[in-house]
Chains A and B, each alone.
Chain A
Amino acid sequence: MRILGLYNYWIFIFLMMVGFYILISRRNLVKKILGLNIFQTSVFIFYISMGKITGGTPPILVEGSEEVIYSNPLPHVLILTAIVVGVSTTAVALALVVRIKEAYGTIEGDEISAMDNQIPF
């Protein structure tokens, strides 16, 4: 039962590491953004997992009933904000990628740094 209780956290760590791996091993900038999104979503899953109570209901008040167990609403509020902010940063990152493609003709990170460092070719 102890292992069952930690399964969510392990998958969260796995997803986070997959996102991290994409971020540091892929050179393509769009792929890096996708990795960042996976990383970010794994943190969302972590927060929402912590707010869950087994047998609970969504935190929407039920009239005249004192017996209901509600899951914790605070992580939900934090993550709502985080999702919207995450999409905003994704949009800015994608706009930057479009400009980089226009200026350098490539979105492969190593080629861009090679051009910046003036490797003769």
Chain B
Amino acid sequence: MSVLVDFALLAFLATTAIAVVRTTNLFAAVMLAGIYSLLTAGLFTVMDAVDVAFTEAAVGAGISTVLMLATLSFIGSKEESPQVRITEISAKVPDRRPLFPLFAVLVTGAILIWGTGDMPPFGDPADPIHHHVAPRYLEESGHEIGIPNVVTSVLASYRGFDTFGETTVVFTAAVGVMILLSAIRRKDRYGEERWGEEDVPNLFRGFVPNFWLGDDGRMRAPPSPQEPGEGGEGKAS
């Protein structure tokens, strides 16, 4: 029975992937990618990877889709197909031959499928992957760590440093996104581009009270009552 579900989900996945290739509307493509992630989560559940399934459902189908939609709200959701190039510059660009990518993909795929001939059969308990360290975790982690979920034991205890490294990667990515996008916010707020002429780093802009900033975005002394003409706009914002 679970084999049937497995087959059906894999067929849905293949169909969704083809649909992502064919659509030129980026909004539709992003939504299809969300469906794709959710189908993947279902497939993981069928294949006994419940932790992976709910991470994929929350992070892959949830957060990724939200990030993609937020991006589309900045850039618009139309992909220009090679046939409909409207800007003048694209007329000058030599057209890339579409057959070459297809050829590269077919050759790579054929080599990989040839390689699966040496793969151990799916779901067989005699596969080599099940006979090295995995039995030790299954037998000992219950006593050693005391958590029934073996995946949690391995993730948080045996391989805790690895997970720490992962957290560092996420932190670095978050800092990178903040630095990249802080320049956007700068342009939005003042309506013109400013490159490196401010004394308040944009990363900390959110923490600086608004009335400290002048109309040009620089920090300034709070408006004093002796200068009536100066502080009007600063106070209003």
Contact = CB atoms under 8 A, between A and B. Distances in A.
Interface of A: 1-2, 4-11, 13-22, 24-28, 30-31, 33-35, 37-38, 41, 44-45, 48-54, 56-61, 63, 69-77, 79-81, 83-92, 94-99, 101-102, 106-108, 110-111, 114-115, 119-121
A14 B80 CA distance: 26
A42 to B, nearest CB: 9
A89 B159 CA distance: 22
Interface in B16-48: 17-18, 20-21, 26, 29-30, 33, 36-37, 40, 43-44, 47-48
Given A8-B10, A10-B116, A34-B29, A108 B90 contact: yes
A49 B52 contact: no
Nearest to B82: A27
B67 to A, nearest CB: 5
12 contacts: A5-B122, A14-B17, A15-B13, A25-B101, A28-B80, A52-B47, A76-B151, A92-B177, A94-B70, A94-B71, A119-B93, A121-B91
B204 interface: no
B148 interface: yes
A96 B176 CA distance: 10
B26 A19 contact: no
A50 B127 contact: yes
B99 to A, nearest CB: 10
A60 B123 contact: no
A59 B149 contact: yes
Given A44-B56, A114-B92, 5 more contacts: A21-B21, A97-B75, A98-B181, A108-B90, A119-B89
Interface in B146-192: 148-151, 154-155, 159, 162-163, 166, 169-170, 172-174, 176-177, 180-181, 183-184, 187
Contact of A95 (B29, B130, B149, B180): B180
Interface of B: 3, 6-7, 10-11, 13-14, 17-18, 20-21, 26, 29-30, 33, 36-37, 40, 43-44, 47-52, 55-56, 59-60, 63-64, 67-68, 70-72, 74-75, 79-80, 82, 87-93, 96, 98, 101-102, 104-106, 108-109, 112-113, 116, 119, 121-125, 127, 129-130, 133-134, 137-138, 141-142, 148-151, 154-155, 159, 162-163, 166, 169-170, 172-174, 176-177, 180-181, 183-184, 187
B26 A30 contact: yes
A83 B60 contact: yes
B105 A96 contact: no
Contacts of A95: 176-177, 180-181
A21 B102 contact: yes
A80 B138 CA distance: 18
Contacts of B88: 121
Would you list the 9 A-B pairs with minimal beta carbon distance, nearest first? A88-B173, A54-B123, A5-B121, A25-B101, A71-B48, A95-B180, A59-B150, A18-B17, A17-B109
B188 to A, nearest CB: 10
Contacts of A101: 74-75
B116 A6 contact: yes
Contacts of B173: 88-89, 91-92
B64 A81 contact: no
A79 B123 contact: no
A31 B49 CA distance: 29
